[in-house]
Amino acid sequence: MPGFGNYPTPVNELAALSRPGSALWIKHDDLTHPIYGGNKVRKIGRLLDDARRRGKDTIVTVGAIGSHHVLTTGIFGKSVGLSIEAVVVAQPRTEHVLENLRADLAQGVSLFPASSYVHAAFVLASRIVHGAYYIPAGGSNRIGALGYVDAAGELAAQVRDGALPEPDLLVVALGSGGTAAGLAAGLAREGLRTRVLAVTVAEPPGFVERAALALAAQCVERGLRRDARARLEVTRSYLGDGYGYATEAGARAMSAAQSVGVTLDSTYTAKAFAGALDCVAAGRAKTILYWHTLSSAPMAPLLVGAPAESALDARLLKLAKAPRK
């Protein structure tokens, strides 16, 4: 299998947060890789492989200024000797966002600030004309999402081996869509009964949701397309003020997770975990699997050689917006 990381990632029950008749489990994709984990690792392996097969030496991608995908591309692209460029757009400022930005620079990623996604498209086009291999936001095209078709196969093997009961419901954050789409497609292919509840965290939600459904259909053979789409359910209930803005439900989910030793971020995983906790509280399914997508690898090694916050380029810093009040 092409790619990076250590698989299968572990699963365990979060017994302290389960209820009678509704067990909460976690799949630890925070542990996909010891240097930098999270869900972008499964996608980037296939994408970088494709770039190298096509003889490319430069990658261009796009994301918010604190993007996990841009950082993942920087780390793993560098490890195979590729030059990485990223066009970056604004998102609300958090400590986590600034740390990711500084880590990008420490990996040698060339960052091109853009004032909007429309502006970003122009900058991207000019880099692609120069011969760079294009990876979309979040690494979410069919090639990247196939990493999550594989992940569903990995889950099916864990169910067969008795590592966990067959989940009725899988809950995961929905950003650029590759993770949820790949999982829905992979579960259809495996013939598990597991449905996917994708918690929208990105905007505009209607676009994000349609893109995920279309991508799920692209990831399987013709006969399974309807099944892949049908098992992907999307909810906007946890989005709050929008991408990157913390919510109260997310803050409660963060402290619940902390009580069982799981760290969440406010942009993605807190919102998804809030959705999973509500499903448990409502007794929505017997076995609920929360898919944990945030890297738990220590950041310090990735920040060696990073510029101090005070030394950051003003145009980049401006993209980390003050939170809305």
Ligand X SMILES: *Cc1c(COP(=O)(O)O)cnc(C)c1O
Instruction: Give the interface with ligand X as residue ranges (CB under 6 A).
Output: 38-40, 68-69, 138, 140, 173-180, 265, 268-269, 293-294
Report in angstroms how near the CB of residue 144 gets to ligand X at its nearest.
Answer: 8
Burial of 209 (0-12, 13-18, 19+ CB in 10 A): buried
176: nearest Cα among 202, 150, 154, 195: 202
**Whole-number Å distance between alpha carbons of 203 and 186:** 25
Token pair belonging to 94: 């958090």
Token pair belonging to 157: 């093997």
Give the β-pairing of 169-174 and 195-200: parallel
Q: Which C-beta is closer to ligand X: that of 22 or that of 138?
A: 138
Report in angstroms how near the CB of residue 68 gets to ligand X at its nearest.
Answer: 3
Q: Which C-beta is closer to ligand X: that of 22 or that of 297?
A: 297
Q: 64 phi and psi, to 5 degrees? A: -70, 165
Report in angstroms how near the CB of residue 114 gets to ligand X at its nearest.
Answer: 19
Q: Which C-beta is closer to ligand X: that of 77 or that of 177?
A: 177
Q: Which C-beta is closer to ligand X: that of 22 or that of 68?
A: 68
Q: Which C-beta is closer to ligand X: that of 22 or that of 262?
A: 262
Report in angstroms how near the CB of residue 194 gets to ligand X at its nearest.
Answer: 17
Is 60 in contact with 74 (CB distance < 8 Å)? no
Report in angstroms how near the CB of residue 180 gets to ligand X at its nearest.
Answer: 6
Report in angstroms how near the CB of residue 260 gets to ligand X at its nearest.
Answer: 18
Q: Give the residue carrying structure tokens 């490890």.
A: 79
Q: Which C-beta is closer to ligand X: that of 22 or that of 213?
A: 213
Question: Position 45: which residue type?
Answer: G
Report in angstroms how near the CB of residue 35 gets to ligand X at its nearest.
Answer: 16
Alpha helix positions (H), 130-234: 142-160, 178-190, 205-218, 225-230
Residue with the CB atom nearest ligand X in the bound state: 175
Q: Which C-beta is closer to ligand X: that of 22 or that of 197?
A: 197
In the sheet that 169-174 helps form, which strands lie side by side, from edge to edge? 11-13, 23-28, 287-292, 169-174, 195-200, 232-235
